[in-house]
């Protein structure tokens, strides 16, 4: 039974809701129902939301598999915490009009690290 990953999935769900609400606010303000109609701020908000949606679920799935296979609990906490921090840092860095590439890159490094390390665990755990 997995107990750790659902905690982080719930926390990431709240981040996802906040990013969704940000896009919705822009859409209502600009009266744009579909696409961005060329509005740079809406386009940025949409990409921040989409990028989160592209990476967070896959990383959570890998983490859940690792936890189900008996990976060390504190390691799962560390990886899931890094994912949460990475996704938040990336979203913040990318959402700025004057983009902070250090935050964007740092967030992606954390995210890719979690995905890579967890994938590696999934290859090693069965043979241990």
pLDDT tens per residue across span 63-76: 999 999 999 999 99
Enter the pTM of the model: 0.95
What mean pLDDT is predicted for residues 52-56? 98
Q: Residue 7 CB: number of other CB atoms within 10 A?
A: 14
Amino acid 97: pLDDT: 85
Structure tokens at 43: 């386009």
Predicted confidence (pLDDT) per residue in 91-124, tens digit: 999 999 888 899 999 999 999 999 999 999 999 9
Check pLDDT > 90 for residue 10: yes
Question: Which domains are assigned to the chain?
Answer: 5-127 (1.20.120.550)
Rg, Å, the chain Cα set: 16
Amino acid 1: pLDDT: 84
Burial class (CB in 10 A: 0-12, 13-18, 19+), 34: exposed
What mean pLDDT is predicted for residues 15-35? 94
Percent helix / strand / coil, the chain, rounded to 5: 80, 0, 20
């Amino acid at each position: 039974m997995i107990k750790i990953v659902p905690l982080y999935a719930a926390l990431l769900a709240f981040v996802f809701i906040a990013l969704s609400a940000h896009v919705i606010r822009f859409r209502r303000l600009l009266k744009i129902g579909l696409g961005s109609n060329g509005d740079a701020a809406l386009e940025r908000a949409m990409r921040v939301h989409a990028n989160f949606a592209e990476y967070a679920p896959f990383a959570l799935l890998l983490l859940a598999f690792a936890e189900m296979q008996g990976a060390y609990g504190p390691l799962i906490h560390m990886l899931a915490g890094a994912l949460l921090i990475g996704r938040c840092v990336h979203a913040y860095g990318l959402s700025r009009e004057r983009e902070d590439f250090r935050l964007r890159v740092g967030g992606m490094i954390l995210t890719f690290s979690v995905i890579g390390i967890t994938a590696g665990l999934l290859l090693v755990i069965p043979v241990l």
